[in-house]
Amino acid sequence: MNTFVEMSISKAINAGLAKAMRENDKVLVFGEDVAELGGVFRVTEGLLAEFGPKRIFNSPIAESGIIGTAIGLAMRGYSSVTEIQFDGFIFPAFNQITTQLAKIQNRSEGFLKMPVVIRVPYGGGIGAIEHHSESPEAYFAHTSGLRIITPSNPNDAYWMIQQAVASTDPVMFFEPKRRYWQKGPVNLETPPIDMHAARVLREGTNATVVCYGPMVTTALQAAEVAAEEGISLEVIDLRSISPIDFGAIVESVKKTGRLVVAQEASNFVSVGSEIAAKVHELAFYHLEAPVLRVGSFDVPYPPAKLEEQFLPDADRILDAVDRVLAY
């Protein structure tokens, strides 16, 4: 019998991490302020008390150092779960992530494995100051050698962090920070599908909305409103950004003929761009309308008082749905 426990996304990641640390004593957790404080979002709260300072410790405020030492620890047989405190602070580590972490398995022709998880709270909508609200996933999705996943609900958060830790490849784990406190049931017994599989969250017939991370809640809200207007939307939670489960998207498009991709990231050269291009290749004759992207604007993330207009919301998704239905 399955046991379901109600918990928030942040608590679910915490519980998943604790389970991974219990199951494998080579799993380490480190980053800025993760130990006594439990991280600025308290995702690692309580882990120090259970596992002690050899398993979870604070790093100096040096993101390149965090990833670079995680690489060295992987060479010594450790699986590190690193935390980058905020999306906008990841760039000092960009070099170590893209030129080293992503390429060392290839450079060593498979002799070395790189079981490193990089947790990144990402996205906006929390009224923060600059550099605390960004969606940098596309920079990393462009780099071969990395796996990139992002949960949208507590059950996925609980299981996907464990799947990420178990992977022998580097995994970037993007956490939708404005949804950290969103609660939902977590099945503690049965793992869900593969971490790279997309999932249909709501079946529909008129158009498909593909989304990931923080936009999943927004897309589901849009689908509710659309239903009241007699429009049936199929909502797909991508869950994985590299690789992307194009099979699931194409299957849905074959049914609905129309696709909208919703993302918090700006549209130019984005995950949505890749999906649009690929779906045009794979399902051209099934499309009744061009694929539309609903993202944020291609401008720097604005001051918090303007983020409501900057970020895509349910209305903008519905606007795009109206446009694809108009063809």
Partner 1 sequence: MTSEDFKSASMVQMLSVEGDFSIPEQFAEYGAYIEKLTNEDFLKFYRDMATMRRFDGEATALQRQGQLGLWAPAVGQEAAQIGSGYGVGPNDHIFPSYREHGVAITHGIDLMSIIKIMRGVNHGGWNPDETRFHLYAIVLGTQTLHATGYAMGLNFDGKVGTGNKAEDLAVITYFGDGATAEGDVSEALLFAAINQTPQVFFCQNNQWAISSNVSRQTRVPLYLRGTGFGVPGVQVDGNDVLACYAVTAKHMDDARAGLGPTMIEAMTYRIGAHTTSDDPTKYRDNSEVESWKARDPLLRFEKFLRSRGVGQDFFDECDAIGDKISAEIREATFALASPPVENIFQHVYSQPHPTIVEQYAWLKDYEASYGEGEK
Active-site annotation, residues: 132
Q: How far is the CB of 315 from partner 1 (least distance, A)?
A: 34
Q: In 10 A of CB 85, how many CB atoms?
A: 21
Q: What is the torsion angle, in degrees rounded to the nearest 10, for the CA atoms of residue 98, residue 100, residue 101 and residue 105? A: 120
d(CA 82, CA 67): 7
Closest to partner 1 by CB, 171 or 186: 171
Closest to partner 1 by CB, 113 or 255: 113
Closest to partner 1 by CB, 111 or 285: 111
Buried b (16+ CB within 10 A) or exposed e, 249-258: bbbbbeebbb
d(CA 221, CA 236): 13
Tokens 């990395």 appear where? 146
Task: Point out which residues bind partner 1 (CB under 8 A).
Answer: 28, 54, 59-60, 62, 64-65, 67-78, 92, 95-96, 99-100, 103-114, 144-145, 147, 167-169, 196, 242-243
Q: How far is the CB of 58 from partner 1 (least distance, A)?
A: 10
Q: How far is the CB of 116 from partner 1 (least distance, A)?
A: 10
Q: How far is the CB of 69 from partner 1 (least distance, A)?
A: 3
Closest to partner 1 by CB, 100 or 218: 100
Closest to partner 1 by CB, 245 or 264: 245
Largest CA distance in the chain: 60
Q: How far is the CB of 263 from partner 1 (least distance, A)?
A: 19
Closest to partner 1 by CB, 166 or 200: 166
d(CA 21, CA 7): 19
Closest to partner 1 by CB, 112 or 126: 112
Q: How far is the CB of 269 from partner 1 (least distance, A)?
A: 17
Nearest Cα to Cα of residue 151 among 244, 221, 213: 213
Q: How far is the CB of 12 from partner 1 (least distance, A)?
A: 24
d(CA 88, CA 90): 6
